[in-house]
Structure 1
């Protein structure tokens, strides 16, 4: 299997076309041997109000054995309205087939029926019908037009007068006891009371997600469970495309083509760079293939949501074209005609007030973004740094180099000025130029850059060592760091050999707020949570384990929902109902 994946990566580099690979006849059998993927998305509710959060957990599975897939490293989650417009789109990093995220439902969204879809690029080769989709209905009580969701004649299945719901136990897939048993300390609770979930006799390791949420007093769109996910079998013998979407095996993929300016023909063996600026600068080099095409894998973390791609050498002879992924069309989607009647208004009004109170106290009920270690600059901070605030300031880069930076000199070649590094041992000189970058962007026109305003520069870092990046050797590195990221205005010659592109940055992983009442910190703070707990990563070991959380002042019936898969690929789906009085 690993050999097949390595081989497909080899021919990928030869046949990239609009982010797809053209399959030859000999490659079709190989393509079939690489397992397809499918996604199960566990999310907290299929009925939400504006002001609430939709939380989700991604399980990316090997379609052959239902084990977590190690193939794709990126998944996409989109929220689509009935006009087939994408309202939200998120890119999620997958670690061993797992990922997580959330959407906040804003007050600008209209009431109506929506779809949440999830996929990897590799999944698209099996056809769009194999992409995960589920109905979600939204009510925005702040919007006057509710025709899309409220119908006076519809028979909404409301609760009886006591507010109790009659559940069909067949709707709840109970996890077999050989996986684990779930035990509650009790079934009826008071406000702000501790709930203890005990997981016992677990003999099947796996990964699960846990949601505890208030039950709506009427029927809502069906949520698929993990058992439903394994029913979708994909057969490539009936569906072998002539061209395939590339699997994002190492991270995000960015594609493009370089053309010769005069002939407009694809340019082979041309070096192209990608730069993402910010504190954790990212710099990559790729070579074009015999069709003039290149691609970048981005597995690193980064801050900025844009990148700069440029031709490295003899740049005036070439022009760039960035080939975006094809726009997804959702013509195949069939939207629910879910409606509720005006009898639901009381529930919606009450819950909407609770949501507003909860949102008003978000500052004390924080969800934290998990901080990741910033990536070191590609030159690993070796060399010497000049903090220009420690020296007399000069107006231009040229004067600053002459007066301050003793490791750099300015020399003339063919009537143009160039930056060069002063080496302690001249025998080390190779005759090559250093890599000169400003906030990670390569400076090709040194002559113009020397007149740039040096008061916008914070630091200059010089690496006095030969630097090999990819297949390109540089005579050291001269890195300029701006104060405010203001890199405009110094290269008027920039045209079609340098391209600015917007990036859909992968969502940061979060640790969600978990209410605790062991201490008196929250005693006087209102608590009307209808989502008592969202735990996207519930990893159970062979030992008995406990999950502890607390009820709120929001009374009613709450559903405990556990979804996931054992390590052997068996689905686990469990529901329990508790009551808060």
Structure 2
């Protein structure tokens, strides 16, 4: 009978808890090792001038099933120079097996041969085989090098050094791409249709590029068909080989704490990461026996500014720091195929350079737009009660505001300073510990500094007035102060708390293309070499139609489509149009 009473009491206590940060089920390493993954990259071009933008689409595939059902939710794309040094890097969010991004080629890059690589943490377990590679040629027309000493030489015998349009082979068995005409006038509307060649509808994910061709040498890249043919399934059945864990639920940020006098235990210490702001994020993690911890971040908020801190009573006895992100061994990359220029390329380089400068001078008129960012709700929503302070009589101090405005909130003071607490509806209030106090989502362990803050800068206060479990800690409730400008900076200092800049994924974009059916761009010069880049084409029917407009640039333009169907079939198509 006594046991039953104890069980009922326990159920009553836990029923008063609200759980915040979810406890994730860890997949055993032997199960993860059976999953294979490979990365393919479709890029807009392989030859660029400084001032242009390299556009790319990442495809992460389950190599065994040959489908876009990848394990990883984060991918990485880097531009590597001929000394195997990374010069540009982007972290990419992968959704449903695909992601997208771009690199602006600045004048800091020298003329030469580079390598574009793509990978996930999980594919790095395969070594060089887990890294997708394609050669890139960059031309810096602003380098002050005498012509006779430059790289303007006769082209090499390398078969990749010249574009061979007549050798292009496309797989037209599943899809075809058609335009309403083969020749267009400048700024004319171009209608393009992606048509299924089979009776049953084809579902899949594809990317399409429409770009001008010229005489500049260009590296040949692997098509999606080539990629599947040359990629053999390979897993890591031996757990010892799996040095890098996959980012299965989001990007992993790792760090470590250390004891100042080496006498403190490093195990099971709580560390928090706050990304403060209007739309904030907060994570908590426990350390292992070596003091290491991992955070799994959500896609939103995407801010790079964060604060990490040890969340313990004896926190001042510890030092906290983030560890370097996982990096591939670039020394194992194969040599970059060398391309060279010849004097005949000079005119095309000059024309493209002038076009770039004109386009970049109208950047403000032709901005790419960011994909709509989700307005994330606080983790405690919808449990909170909000107090918008302008709806009440304003008081000059926080003490008065707590007493006169905030129900069930009170403060205490001792030799260590002030503490903000909650009166909860539960009789177990004291056993739940202190409230989780935040300012714009920034965890504030020392509440004293808030009592010196100008309350006129506080917009509202959000309260959750009952026990709340967040991570592995139990709080008596949640109090979040929201400032008017979301610009609060903590005064707390020490080795246990650090302000850090974390590398966040590139935000998805909707790339600019003018619409000449409207008059907004009629008097603006248009020297686009890239007429269209659409990285997210989802087919779900017999045909998909889209349109874009020619620019003021005349010549031949290549239409390139790459991607994969839901059944794991690769599609690679190329067509050409002319602007006269």
- Shorter-chain TM range is 0.7 to 0.9
Question: Structure 1: how far apart are the matches of 2:380 and 2:186?
Answer: 56
Deviation at 1:428, TM superposition (A): 6.6
Q: Does 1:142 align with 2:142?
A: yes
Deviations 1:251-308 (A, max 9, x none): 0111233444443565222222221111111112222344443221112311421222
Partner residue in 2 for 1:527: 526
Q: 1:217 aligns with which of 215, 218, 221?
A: 215
Q: Structure 1 234/526 Cα, relative in aligned 2: closer, same or farther at 3 Å?
A: same
Q: Which residue of 2 aligns with 1:169?
A: 166
RMSD: 3.0
Distance 2:488 2:190 in 1: 55
Query: Which ranges of structure 2 fall in alignment gaps of 5 or more residues?
Result: 1-22
Whole-Å separation in 2 of the counterparts to 1:233 and 1:8: 30
Question: 1:466-513 CA distances to partner (integer Å, 9 max, x unpaired)?
Answer: 22223322112222234455544632xx32222332211111111112
TM-score, normalised with respect to structure 2:
0.86
Partner of 1:9: 26
Farther off after superposition, 209-218 or 311-320: 311-320
Deviates more, 1:223-232 or 1:275-284: 223-232
Runs of 4+ aligned residues of structure 1 deviating over 6 Å after TM superposition are 146-149, 237-240
- The correspondence for 2:177, drawn from 182, 185, 201, is 182
Distance in 1 separating the partners of 2:390 and 2:528: 52
Contact kept? 1:113, 1:148, Cα under 8 Å = no
- Shift in CA distance, 534/260, structure 1 to aligned 2, threshold 3 Å: same
CA contact under 8 A between 1:74 and 1:91: conserved in structure 2?
yes
Alignment partner, residue 460 of structure 1: 461
Cα distance between partner residues in 1 of 2:235 and 2:576: 41
Q: Which moved more, 1:234-243 or 1:45-54?
A: 234-243
Are the structure 2 counterparts of residues 490 and 400 from structure 1 closer, same or farther at C-alpha, using a change threshold of 3 Å? Answer: farther
What's the CA shift for 1:77? Answer: 0.9
| Superposition pairs of residues 299-314 of structure 1, within 5 angstroms | 299-314=298-313
In structure 2, the partner of 1:285 is 284
Unaligned 5+ runs, structure 1: 1-5, 13-26, 158-164
2:444 match: 443
Change (3 A) 1:7 1:278: closer
Counterpart CA distance in 1 for 2:513 and 2:223 is: 24
Contact 1:125 1:241 in 2 (8 A): no
Shift of 1:248: 0.2
Determine helix, strand or coil for the equivalent of 1:522: coil
TM-score (norm 1): 0.85
Question: Does structure 2 conserve the Cα–Cα contact (< 8 Å) formed by 1:276 and 1:282?
Answer: yes
User: What SS does structure 1 have at the residue aligned with 2:541?
Assistant: coil
The residue number in structure 1 matching 2:20 is: none
C-alpha separation in 2, matches of 1:578 and 1:289? 60
- Counterpart in 2 of 1:16? none
2:385 corresponds to: 383
3-state DSSP of counterpart to 1:275: strand
> Could you give the per-residue CA deviations for residues 385-426 of structure 1, whole angstroms, max 9, x where no partner exists?
2436965453x5446545654542222457643211245x58
Instruction: State the partner residue of 2:471.
Output: 470
Match of 1:263 in 2: 262
C-alpha displacement of 1:93: 0.6
- Flag the 1:147–1:121 CA change in 2: closer, same or farther, 3 A: farther
Aligned match of 1:23: none
Shift of 1:95: 0.5
Indicate which of 182, 190, 196 corresponds to 1:195: 190
CA contact (8 A) 1:43 1:55 kept: yes
Task: From the superposition, tell whether residues 85 and 469 of structure 1 become closer, same or farther in structure 2 (CA, over 3 Å).
Answer: same
Structure 2 Cα separation of the partners of residues 490 and 128 of structure 1: 46
Matched, 1:562 2:576: no
Are the counterparts in 1 of residues 559 and 574 from structure 2 also a CA contact under 8 Å? Answer: yes
Displacement after TM superposition at 1:42 (Å): 0.4
Q: 1:79–1:117: 8 Å Cα contact kept in structure 2?
A: yes
Cα separation, 1, equivalents of 2:237 and 2:420: 60
Q: Report the count of equivalent residues.
A: 546
Structure 1 range deviating more: 564-573 or 554-563: 564-573
Structure 1 range deviating more: 507-516 or 206-215 = 507-516
The answer on whether the counterparts of 1:79 and 1:115 sit within 8 Å (CA) in structure 2 is yes
Q: Which residue of 2 aligns with 1:155?
A: 155
Cα pair 2:193 2:544 within 8 Å, conserved: yes
C-alpha distance in 2, partners of 1:552/1:377? 45
CA contact (8 A) 1:141 1:348 kept: yes
Cα shift at 1:339: 1.2
Structure 1 CA distance, aligned partners of 2:452 and 2:298? 36
CA shift in 2, pair 1:351/1:419, >3 Å: same
SS in 1 for 2:243: strand
- d(CA) in 1 for partners of 2:503, 2:148: 31
Task: Show the 5 A alignment for 1:501-516.
Answer: 501-516=500-515
